[in-house]
Amino acid sequence: MSTLLITGVHSTLGRGVARQAAALGYRVIGVDRKFALQALTGIEFVQTDVNNPLIGQLMKAEGVEVLFHSAFRWRVRPTPETFENNVVGTTKLLEAAAAAGVQKIVFPSSTLVYGAHPAHPYLIPEDAPFRGPSTYGYIRDLRDIEIFLRGFRQQHPEMTITVLRFANILGHGYRSPLARYLTLPLLPVIQNADPLLQVLHFDDAVQAILQAVAADHHGVYNVAGSPPLTLLTMIQRLGRRVIPLPESLIHTDQNLVTALARPAFLPMPWDCLRYSWAVSIRKIRETWGFMPTRAAGDALDDFAHSLESISPSRALTHSLNAGRRTFRAMVASLRKA
């Protein structure tokens, strides 16, 4: 029985992987900086932070063989606190894992590191350059972690290091940037733009992680559901309301851009609403034989059901209160245009 340590075990993805791994017979040790209201059955829990220098001793003493690092804090705006946790904490954790004799590391990244850019090919491969804007904190931190992992991989060739760049995960309450965008009371779109993008059902994300835990898949892999869909197709399928904005207005009105870039309003970069950002999954399909079992439409349908379970009045009130100044700035800018 292999011993799997999961950081951020009380995150949505951490809990999903922990439950499935325990059911498969793994010994699972969960690490998180705080307790959860609902305990995970069959999981050995340790309350600590990834920056704790004693975590290396824990991994060595418990004979941890595989590390799934899910203690990532998603923030739109870059902050010193999230950088300390996400980037500095990851570097310390991985060095401690290597010293403790951990054999394998699995890290969940995002296709957002590629950014949405007109120079990208139709389907973006794993060796494409990072064009995601560093003004978004979670994109900057993921990029910095992946750059660190490149050097770390060369320093520790004895370790299997798997990086999974997930498309927009939907389902089970997972708060991906696209999920946050699609739950806004009014979705900003750019006139005459309908970019192609991908989603991934939460269950398929968990299965990809478990397969990485079970086998030795060294390297970086895109993971996305099929087929790619356009942004407007997704919005129409979910029955959401939009507000079309002229691209010229976005380029010329800096006050509008600043207002709409507030975390309460736009959790994705503007270019994601302008340019396509679909990725190739050929590498994981040919080397792993892995294909998501849930179609993109299934992920959207499950996400739609989760939207129905939210009180419309409560969700709308919360969003409007959080973005009141944003809407005022938007309306004022549109009147000037």
| DSSP notation for 90-144 | HHHHHHHHHHTT--EEEEEEEGGGG---TTS-SSB-TTSPP---TTSHHHHHHHH
Q: Which of 106, 147, 59 is nearest to 288 (CA)?
A: 106
Q: What's the pLDDT at 256?
A: 58
Q: Would the pTM count as exceeding 0.75?
A: yes
pLDDT number for residue 317: 43
Higher local confidence (pLDDT), 307 or 1: 307
The residue ranking higher by pLDDT, 161 or 247, is 161
34-63: pLDDT as tens digits: 887 677 889 999 999 898 999 999 999 999
SS3 category, 255: helix
- What is the CA angle 137-125-148, rounded to 5? 45
Mean pLDDT of the chain: 88
pLDDT of residue 321: 46
Whether the CA torsion 135, 136, 141, 146 is positive or negative: it is negative
pLDDT in tens, 134-182: 989 999 999 999 999 999 999 999 999 999 999 999 999 999 999 999 9
104 in Cβ contact with 213 (< 8 Å): yes
Identify the pLDDT of residue 330.
53
Share of the chain above pLDDT 70, in %: 86
Cα–Cα distance for residue pair 223/234, rounded to 1 Å: 19
**Residue 319 reports pLDDT greater than 50:** no
Say what the pLDDT of residue 323 is: 45
Whether residue 254 is predicted with pLDDT greater than 60 in this model: the reply is: no
H/E stretch holding 27: strand 27-32
